Chains A and B, each alone.
Chain A
Amino acid sequence: MAHGHKSNEKVVFVGDSRVKKAGMFQTPPDYTAFPGKSEAFIPNFLLKEWMVGCVVLVGFLVWVIAEPAPLGYPADPTNASFIPMPDWYFLFLYQFLKYPYVSQDYVLLGTMGIPGIMFGALMLAPFLDTGKERRFYRRPIASSLMLLTLASCVYLTVVSWDHYQHMLAENNTIPEHHERADKAREAIERGEPRPNPLKKAAAIIEADDPAMSIAQAQCIGCHAADFSGAVGPALIGVGNRMTQEEIAAIITNGSENGAMPHFNDKLSAEEIDQLAVWLAKQTQ
């Protein structure tokens, strides 16, 4: 176009230009090669593709909103009890390496030998299966090898996952990202802030206060010896959530939902006041 013959062009390519004077658009080989009702890519087919793409995207977003991405506790290299687990699409390889004759003395066969042959064969499939026939049922060797490999991968993945579940049950643990999500949900339901696993366990403030001994006598049964919460919520940080008056009211009359009993018969008004002043200082 640019090197056409129109005399009003601003740029004219000179005769010895290396720019090839190609014709207009070259028809690609698949343009008319196939019988039947072919359809233009733009705009007809692309429009349909976009519609399918929108549906896929909406479905994907619904999934992502319903299921937050997992996050466990911060990496701790000294944690000896953690059960390692790769992402699900590596499980078949992970499980494969647990079998005899591909582990221990034979680990080379497990890491390089068999996976090397399998992935090598997959990569070089066009040079191994060179026949002209394309239909899978007329290529029994290639097709059956692929189906066998597929079945093996599915089997190994399922066994590996099953093994992982058994190990979790044996060690009586739940995956950390579940534990963390559960704890966060419980904390939010109690009206506390989301626990931050990076924060060191906060210490009680003014632990030498005389109110501490009252608290140790009366409160630790429900609120735990370190005041981190058990049946009742954590008292560490209670000053963030309540004022001194609110704390005093709850100690005197019990909590509104009746979960905490009233202490006006066990403690004097003076002791309650002392306790409330001290608890209101427990901020983080």
Chain B
Amino acid sequence: MFKNVYNWIDERLDITPLWRDVADHEVPEHVNPAHHFSAFVYCFGGLTFFITVIQILSGMFLTMYYVPDIIHAYASVDFLQHQVAFGQIVRGMHHFGASLVIVMMFLHTLRVFFTGSYKAPREMNWVVGMLIFFIMLGLGFTGYLLPWDNKAYYATKVGVEIAASVPYIGPYIADFLYGGDIVGAQTLTRFFAIHVFFLPGALIAMLAAHFLMIRKQGISGPL
């Protein structure tokens, strides 16, 4: 039954090569911790992706309760934290997962750097990886405001003030992020939109490019 459905679709769309291309590759010995334990350093990229998936899923559940306006933002986070079943765990996963993504990505970057894996022909993949790094920092910065407590408020205020001190474009950046003269109602909705739609969209596109390139080029050889 299942096979017939698959064959019916495959006859029309030729989907087999799509997944065979992902599935049918071999993992060489020098990156396999089962053969050389020190090869665990090659796991950090995969773990970064794993935590990123946790971030996306937990974030999707958080938006079921979170209300991005200055009256209800704090109350909704408080409700989520203390009243909703498993809310504390889901919010905890998203809060601590943010730190974990940064740590894993940092370790992954160091592995790639110190094994010289960014060298030709993989320069573009390094640049895309760096863009992912900046997107992650942007997600961290915008997500920090959303609980709307004092820590969130003042960290954002200081952060945007620093950005505003840049000559010429600084005031425009501040205006774009604030949506007004102070950290206020507009700032919160803008940060919410950036955190939930703009940056994750960019992140997914960049991740797709990152993975496409690694499949096309293969993993870098042993040192």
Query: Using Cβ atoms and an 8 Å threshold, which residues of chain A touch B13?
Result: 2
Tell me the complex Cα distance, A94–B157, Å: 13
Q: Which of A130-181 contact B (CB under 8 A)?
A: 130-136, 139, 142-143, 146, 150, 175-177
Question: How many residues on the B side are at the interface (Cβ–Cβ under 8 A)?
Answer: 92
What sequence of 0s and 1s flags, for each residue 130-168 of chain B, a beta carbon within 8 Å of any chain A beta carbon? 100010010011001001111111110111001101110
Q: Is B56 an interface residue (CB 8 A)?
A: no
Residues A125 and B113 in contact, CB atoms below 8 Å apart = yes
Task: Tell me, in angstroms, the Cα distance from A135 to B24 when the chains sit together.
Answer: 29
Distance in Å from the Cβ of A90 to the closest Cβ of chain B?
Answer: 7
Residue of A with least CB distance to B116: A134
Interface pair A146/B219, CB less than 8 Å apart: no
Which A residues are CB-close (under 8 A) to B153?
75-77
Stretch at the interface among A25-33, A202-210, A260-268: A25-33
* Across-interface contacts of B25 in A (CB, < 8 A): 28, 30-31, 41
A33-B221, A34-B30, A86-B159 known; A73+B119 contact, CB < 8 A: no
A126 & B126 in contact (Cβ 8 Å cutoff):
yes
Among listed A45-53, A226-234, A241-249, A274-282, interface-contacting one: A45-53
Q: In whole angstroms, how far apart are the Cα atoms of A145 and B100 in the complex?
A: 25
Q: A84 CA to B27 CA in the complex, in Å?
A: 47
List of B residues within 8 angstroms of A114 by Cβ? none
> Do the beta carbons of B89 and A29 come within 8 Å of each other?
no
Q: Does A79 lie within 8 Å of B28, measured CB to CB?
A: no
Task: Give a binary string over B87-126; 1 marks a CB under 8 Å from any A CB, 0 the rest.
Answer: 0110111111111101000000010011111111011001
Interface: A16 (CB within 8 A): no
The answer to whether the Cβ of A225 comes within 8 Å of any Cβ in the partner chain is no
Cβ-defined partner of A136 (8 Å) among B88, B116, B141: B116
CB distance from A11 to the nearest CB of B (A): 6
Contact with A along B23-47 (1 / 0, CB 8 A): 1111111101011000000010011
Min distance, Cβ A224 to any Cβ of chain B, angstroms:
25
Q: Does A41 lie within 8 Å of B23, measured CB to CB?
A: yes
- CB of B218 within 8 A of CB of A64, answer no
Check if A39 sits within 8 Å of B120, measured CB to CB: no
Report the bound CA distance from A25 to B16 in whole Å. Answer: 8
Is A36 interfacial (CB 8 A cutoff)?
yes
Q: Which residues of chain B are near A250, meaning CB under 8 Å?
A: none
Q: Given B54, B149, B162, B165, which contacts A74 in the complex, CB threshold below 8 Å?
A: B149
CB within 8 Å for A136 and B219 given contacts A49-B46, A89-B99: no
The count of residues in chain A whose C-beta lies closer than 8 Å to any C-beta of chain B is 92
Query: Of A19, A64, A90, which is within 8 A of B89 by CB?
Result: A64
Are A107 and B92 touching (Cβ within 8 A)? no
* A185 CB-CB contact with B under 8 Å: no
Query: Given that A48-B34, A71-B78 are contacting pairs, would A65 and B89 also be in contact in the complex, using a CB cutoff of 8 Å?
Result: yes
Q: Is the CB of A75 within 8 A of B148?
A: yes
Q: Is the CB of A134 within 8 A of B20?
A: no
- How long is the Cα–Cα vector from A30 to B92 in the complex, in angstroms? 39
Q: Is the CB of B10 within 8 A of A198?
A: no
Once bound together, how far apart are the Cα atoms of A132 and B26, in whole Å? 25
B35 (CB) vs chain A CBs: closest residue = A37
Please provide the 9 A-B residue pairs with the shortest distance between their CB atoms, ordered closest to farther.
Answer: A134-B116, A30-B218, A36-B29, A126-B123, A64-B92, A75-B153, A69-B95, A72-B149, A84-B154
Hey, which bits of chain A sit against chain B, CB under 8 A?
A: 1-3, 9-11, 19, 22, 24-26, 28-42, 45, 48-49, 52-53, 56-57, 60-61, 63-65, 67-77, 79, 82-90, 94, 97, 107-108, 111-112, 119, 122-127, 129-136, 139, 142-143, 146, 150, 175-177, 194, 196-198
Interface set of B (CB-CB < 8 Å, partner A): 10-14, 16-17, 20-21, 23-30, 32, 34-35, 43, 46-47, 50, 54, 70, 74-75, 77-78, 81-82, 88-89, 91-100, 102, 110, 113-120, 122-123, 126-127, 130, 134, 137, 140-141, 144, 147-155, 157-159, 162-163, 165-167, 182-184, 215, 217-223
